[in-house]
Each structure stands twice: as C-alpha cells, then as structure tokens.
Amino acid sequence: MPHHRKHPKAIYEGRWIFFFLGISWLLALAFLPLLALPFGLLIIFSCYFFRDPERIPPTDPTLIVAPADGTITAIDEVNGVEGDLYLTQRMKRISIFLSVFDVHVNRSPIAGELIHSEPRGGLYLDARKPESSLLNESRLWIIQGEKITVGVKQITGAIARRIVPWAHVGDQLDRGERFGMIRFGSRTELYLPLETEILVQVGTKVEGGSTAVAVFNKQG
C-alpha cells in the first residue's frame, strides 16, 4: 500500500464552525436550554460532515479511482476544460455530485505529479445544474501520470462556498491521496483521455480513492 503524506485533518477545516456551535451550545445551556438540543445535533452533524475515512485503492494500477464521494450525474465528452490552457483536447468527463451527507475530501484519481492548480471565481449555483461547471467558483487540478494526464475540477455549490487546497504544484501524489476538500454540497468533475474506458454509469454511487471509475492501458 502506498504511503500517504499527512495533510491537515478535514476536521481542522471546520474549526470555526465547531467554535461557533460550541459557544452557542454553552450559551443555550445557560440561558435557553430548549435550544441546546438543536445546537448539539448540529455539532454532531458537523463532526459527521468533516469525517475523513481511510480509503484503499484497487490493486490494479491501470484503474482510475473516483476523486470524490457522491453520485455520478453525467458522463460525456467535452472539448477540453473551458478557460484552461492545459486541457484543450477532447476528453471524457465524469461528473460527481456531493450531497451534504457525502465525504467532501477530494483524492487523486491516479499516481502522478501535480502540474497545475488554479482557482477560478464565479457564482454559487446549485451544483446539480450542468451550468454550474462553467459559472460557479472552481479550482482545476491537473495530474500527470506515467502514461496519462487527467484533470479534476472542484466546483462550489449553493451551500458550499470554500474550496480548500492541501497539495501544491510539484507534489507527487499517490493514487487515492488527499489533495483538498470542498465545504458542504458541491460537484467534482474528472477529465480523462478519450482512450480510457469508463466503468461506471449515471446514478452510480462512488467512494473517492477506492471506487474504480475508468481503466487505461487495458492491454498492458
């Protein structure tokens, strides 16, 4: 199993939320006991949301894993990534919608070098809408492997308002290694070369870092 470098814990990204909820819970206990239960439930849900389980990629190195937990909402072909100068060729795209109940840590779909990471400002439309890919705030990551180069696009949603990068350009990422997260409901897109074979379909539930979504170099 590859060794994954330690990144900031996902729970750390929610520190201000926990601080606010904790203070509110204590004040409610002191002055408005009926509100203590709702605040306590919000603290429990926040712990659940910021969870960061360990994931084990499949042993077959030709398999490309999902970069995020969630549900596959679209599989199509696009002429590169809008506004990007690196991925300009026609590619396959897998879109994953993350509800507030999904793990929001993003992971590298292949082993390789992180050669590009660029944020882009935008709106905060519902991440389930296709136009959110073009209009919402996002960050594009490009990972160059031994045989293929892939792109991962983190897209904010109506509730998610912050993309948190943990990796830096020049880092060597293992397949399934954490590189960042999006806070609350959002969308993650995976861009793949046309020669890859897609293994999932619309409606498939996937787990980031462990579910195989495509395969390359199938003939070895």
pLDDT tens digit sequence for 140-161: 999 999 999 999 999 998 775 7
**83 and 161, same domain (yes or no):** yes
Active site (annotated) includes residue 46: no
Which residue among the candidates 46, 95, 186, 210 is catalytic per the annotation?
186
Residue at 157 is within a domain: yes
Domain extent at residue 77: 63-215
CA distances from 87 to 51, 57, 126 (A): 32, 25, 25
Closest CA to 8 of 139, 179, 171, 198: 179
**103 and 152, same domain (yes or no):** yes
Say if residues 67 and 139 touch (Cβ distance below 8 Å): no
Residue at 211 is within a domain: yes
pTM of the model: 0.89
**36 and 124, same domain (yes or no):** no
Predicted confidence at residue 160, as pLDDT, reads 59
**71 and 168, same domain (yes or no):** yes
24-28, 49-53, 106-110, range with the lowest pLDDT? 49-53
pLDDT tens digit sequence for 39-82: 999 999 888 888 999 999 999 999 999 999 999 999 999 998 87
Predicted confidence at residue 3, as pLDDT, reads 43
**104 and 19, same domain (yes or no):** no
Residue at 187 is within a domain: yes
How many domains does the structure of the chain reveal?
A: 2
Residue at 149 is within a domain: yes
pLDDT at 117 over 90: yes
CATH number reported for the structural domain that contains residue 202 in this entry: 2.70.70
Residue at 220 is within a domain: no
Amino acid found at 47: C
Chain-centroid distance of CA 217 in Å reads 25
Sign of CA dihedral 201, 190, 206, 128: negative
**43 and 69, same domain (yes or no):** no
**108 and 210, same domain (yes or no):** yes
**21 and 118, same domain (yes or no):** no
**174 and 200, same domain (yes or no):** yes
pLDDT, mean of residues 80-99: 87
